Structure 1
Amino acid sequence: MPSTLFLDGMRFAMVSSTASEVDSDAPTTFDYHQDGRLIWGEYTGDTVTEGRFVGEIAGAEVRVSFAHALVSDGSVVRGDAVSRAEQEDDGRIRLIEDFAVDGIDHVSVCLQV
């Protein structure tokens, strides 16, 4: 992966998560915006009604703080995450994200669509 990521305008779909089962027919999708090292975006789908994130690009890592409302009960989940970027053989970017919810560590994987 290049030392500086450029994710502006890209969309990623969640393919797996240890925090919840991913609906492969309607996965959570993430839309990225970027200005220099600043990164922000929104996400929705599957277990999330609406979510937002903001953070920074640091080399091949994406570091963000996030908040989203759950479909199940409307409660708001907040946290911090660090994703490492890997390039697939077909050129797409895969983000492997480490995050914690309620003190429990999780990993999710998102793939550029």
Structure 2
Amino acid sequence: MPRSLDGLLMAPIADDTARAPGQVGSATRFRYHESGTQVWATYEGGDITRGYLVGTREGDRLDFRYVQLTRDGATASGHCVSRVVELPDGRVRLEETWEWESRPGGGTSVVEEIRP
């Protein structure tokens, strides 16, 4: 199993959908936590004022729900399934398939660990 996500700071590097207000973007940062099979994170930046995700991990698979507040005061929520990949340099990548539950749409994205 790839290493723990606990304490990792991650940023988006790819998204297959056209950028729209209220979506995660290059300025968004995620701070992940993990304990046993539980995973959770906070995120913010760009159009996102505050976001939370919570779910489970089984091996290299994450399954979580997310909810967020945007700069214009709108809320949105959705579901995501991610594959945890350890990169050759030891950093972690999440390859994600997500869908909104509060509005139409979905897609895929990739976030990677940021090191200081």
TM-score by length of 2: 0.83
Query: Unaligned 5+ residue runs, structure 1?
Result: none
Q: 2:13 aligns with which of 15, 18, 21?
A: 15
Q: Percent identity?
A: 29
The separation in 2 between residues aligned to 1:74 and 1:5, in whole angstroms, is: 36
Structure 1 residue 6: Cα displacement: 1.2
Q: Where does 1:1-113 land on structure 2 (aligned, <5 Å)?
A: 2=1, 5-19=3-17, 20=19, 22-23=25-26, 27-71=27-71, 73-101=72-100, 102-113=103-114
Structure 1 residue 103: Cα displacement: 3.3
SS class of match (1:13):
strand
1:88 corresponds to which letter in structure 2? L
Query: Unaligned 5+ residue runs, structure 2?
Result: none
**Paired residues of 1:5 and 1:59 also in contact (CA < 8 A):** no
SS class of match (1:9):
coil
Structure 1 residue 49: Cα displacement: 0.7
Structure 1 residue 60: Cα displacement: 0.2
The separation in 1 between residues aligned to 2:4 and 2:56, in whole angstroms, is: 11
**Paired residues of 2:3 and 2:86 also in contact (CA < 8 A):** no
2:44 corresponds to which letter in structure 1? T
| Alignment root-mean-square deviation, CA | 1.6
**Paired residues of 2:48 and 2:69 also in contact (CA < 8 A):** yes
2:93 corresponds to which letter in structure 1? R
Number of positions where the alignment pairs a residue of Structure 1 with one of Structure 2:
107
Deviations 1:38-86 (CA, angstroms, capped at 9, x unpaired): 1111000112110001101111011111000122x22111011011111
The separation in 2 between residues aligned to 1:58 and 1:47, in whole angstroms, is: 31
**Paired residues of 1:94 and 1:111 also in contact (CA < 8 A):** yes
TM-score by length of 1: 0.85
